[in-house]
Amino acid sequence: MSEFSIFCKKLIDNCEMTIYGIAKEAKIERTSLNRMIAGKRLPAKDFVDRFCSVLRITPGEYEQLQQLYMKEKIGKELYQNRSYILKMLCDMDALQMHHVDTETEPLLTTNSEISKIAASTNDRLQGKRMLEQLISNTFSDGKKQTILTNFPVEKQYFFEYMEKYAMSYYKKVPVYHYLTIHSNPKRYRNPNCNLEILHNIFPWIISERQEYVPYYSYSSCMPEDLVSQIWIYYVLTKEYALFYNADLSSAICITNAKQISLFRDTLKKAQENMKKFVLVGNESEDFNGFYLDTIQDYGKMVKSIRYCPNYIQHLKEEDAVLRMKTMLESDLCEEYSDIISRQIFDNEEEECFNVFSEQGLEYFCNTGCVAVQELANEKEQGFSVRERIAILEKMVESNRSGERKSYLCNSQYFGLEKISMELFENGSLAIIKYQEKKPQKVIFIEESSICEAFEDFFDSLDEMGLVYELEKSSRIIQKWINKLYQRT
C-alpha cells in the first residue's frame, strides 16, 4: 500500500462511514474506491475530490491528502523537486537575513583591540567563535581584504556573521565561495541537493550589503560524503587560514604568511577552472545593458512568471506596436533596441506561456502600466484603454487556440510584486528581484540541473493547482475586458 492509500483508509476509519455509503453519496464506483484504498489503482483527481467531499475531514487533512496524491501520481522525487522550488518562491518575498546564532556569544572586537584567534579546538562552539573572530578581524582591518571559502552553505551562521560585521563597520568584504554541485543529482540520495544550495545562497546573492560571488565545480559526491578526510572546509583571508573537519567539530587556524599565500594562490588558479554559479546585474551597473547583453546568448523567452501580464507576447494592436518600437529607440541605443525588438516582434511561432497575478491584471487594466507598482515611473504613460482591450483580447484568443497560454496565479503562492522569472529558449533562467527605493537585480542561472528543475516546475503549475485552469483564467480576463469596454 502507498502513503496515499493508507491515509485514505485512515480518513474512512475516522469518519465511521462504510465503503458503500461513501461510494453512494459521492457517486463513485465502489469497486474503484476499494482498489484506491488497497493501493491497486490511482484514480483521477476528480474521483479523489468527490471522495473528499463526503468525508468529515479538516482543511489540513484535505491538503495532506492532495499532497500524497500528487506524490503518488508523479513520483516522490519529482514531487519533492517541485515542492522545493515552490518553497523557494514563497520565501523570496520575505527574504531577510537571519539573526546570528544565539549559541555563539557576540564578540566585542574594536578597531583598536583585535583579539587573537585560537590556534586549534576540538569544541564545536569554540570553532564557531573562531570563525566569528576571523570575520570580525577581517572587517576591522583597514587593509583591503577578501575571503576565499568553501564553507557549507547550510551552515547559515557564516553568512550571518558576515552580515553582522558588514553592518557594524559599514563596509563590504568580497566573499568568493567555492561550491560543489552534484553532476547527477537525480542519482544522489538527495535529488534536490543542487536546489538546496541555490536556496541557501540566494539571500546573500541579492543582499545589498554583501559582495558575494559563488563559483561551482561538478562532483559525483557532495562534501558531506567526505567524512574520512581530515580538513575539508576552509576560510582564508590574507592573515588567517581556518580549516574545519567534515562535521565542523574540530578547527585549526594557521597564521604563517607564506603558507596562507600559497593556499590563496592555489585557490585562485582553481577558480579559473570553475564557473560562476550566477550572473548578477543591477541598475547601478547599467541594468538594461547587462540584461540585454546576456539574453543574446539565451535565445527567446518562452515562459515567464511576473506581477503583470506579459503584454509583449500579445502586442498586436498596430498603434501599440508602433509606440513600443518608438519607446525602445528613445530609451535604448540602436543595438539594444534591435535585440529587444527581435524578442518582441520575431516571436510569432513560439509556443510559450506566462503567469501573472490577479492584482497585476487589475493594476494593468486600471493604469495601462506593466511595471511593478512600486517601481512605476510617475511619468510613465500607460497603454490606452483601447490598447489594453486589444492586448487582453489577444490573450483570450491565444488561450482558446493553445498558441500562447496566459494563466492567472493565486498570489498567495508567489510574491509576484517582488520578483519575476523568465525561462529562455536554451534553458537558462532569469530571476529579477524588485526592491522599492533600491536597485533591482537580475540573477541569471545557467547550471543545467537547476534550470531543468525550474522548467519542469513551470510546466507543472496547473497540475499542482498553483494557477487557475486556462478556462477560468480566460473568464477572469474577459470580465476585465468587459469593464474596459464600459470606459470607451
Please give the grid coordinates belonging to residue 142.
583597514
Higher pLDDT, 40 or 253: 253
Q: Containing domain of residue 253, as a range?
A: 120-276
Please give the grid coordinates belonging to residue 466.
498553483
Q: What is the distance between the terminal CA atoms of the chain, rounded to a whole angstrom?
A: 61
pLDDT at 469 (0 to 100): 87
Question: pLDDT tens digit string along 225-279?
Answer: 887 788 999 999 999 999 999 999 999 999 999 999 999 999 999 999 999 999 8
Say yes or no: 207 and 146 in one domain: yes
Please give the radius of gyration of the chain, using alpha carbons only, rounded to the nearest integer. 27
Say yes or no: 265 and 299 in one domain: no
pTM of the complete model: 0.79
Say yes or no: 142 and 56 in one domain: no
Residue 29 has pLDDT above 50, yes or no: yes
Task: Specify the residue for cell string 503562492.
Answer: 413
Asked if residue 230 lies in contact with residue 122, where contact means CB atoms within 8 angstroms, the answer is no
pLDDT at 250 (0 to 100): 94
CATH number at residue 426: 3.30.870
Question: pLDDT tens digit string along 444-477?
Answer: 999 999 999 999 888 888 777 788 888 999 999 9
Please count the structural domains in the chain: 3
Residue 299 has pLDDT above 90, yes or no: no
Beta bridge partners of 181: 218
Whether 263 is in a domain gets the answer yes
Phi/psi for 96 (5° steps) reads -130, 150
Please give the grid coordinates belonging to residue 69.
496524491
Query: Whose CA is closest to 388, among 418, 420, 365, 363?
Result: 365
- Look over the chain and give the mean of its residue pLDDT values, rounded to a whole number: 81
Say yes or no: 287 and 252 in one domain: no
% of the chain at pLDDT higher than 90? 30
Question: pLDDT tens digit string along 331-352?
Answer: 445 554 555 555 555 555 445 6
CATH number at residue 49: 1.10.260.40
Residue 101 pLDDT grade (very low, low, confident, very high; cuts 50, 70, 90): very low
Whether 94 is in a domain gets the answer no
Please give the grid coordinates belonging to residue 394.
489577444
Instruction: Return the biggest CA–CA distance within the chain.
Output: 82
pLDDT at 439 (0 to 100): 61
Asked if residue 103 lies in contact with residue 248, where contact means CB atoms within 8 angstroms, the answer is no
pLDDT at 139 (0 to 100): 92
Please give the grid coordinates belonging to residue 147.
575571503
Whether 101 is in a domain gets the answer no
Residues with Cβ < 8 Å from 307, sequence gap 6 or more?
356, 357, 359, 360, 363, 372, 373, 416, 417, 420
Taking each helix axis as running N to C, give the angle between helix 470-485 and helix 358-367, from 0 to 180 degrees, rounded to the nearest 10.
20
Residue 314 pLDDT grade (very low, low, confident, very high; cuts 50, 70, 90): low
Residues with Cβ < 8 Å from 270, sequence gap 6 or more?
178
Say yes or no: 328 and 443 in one domain: yes
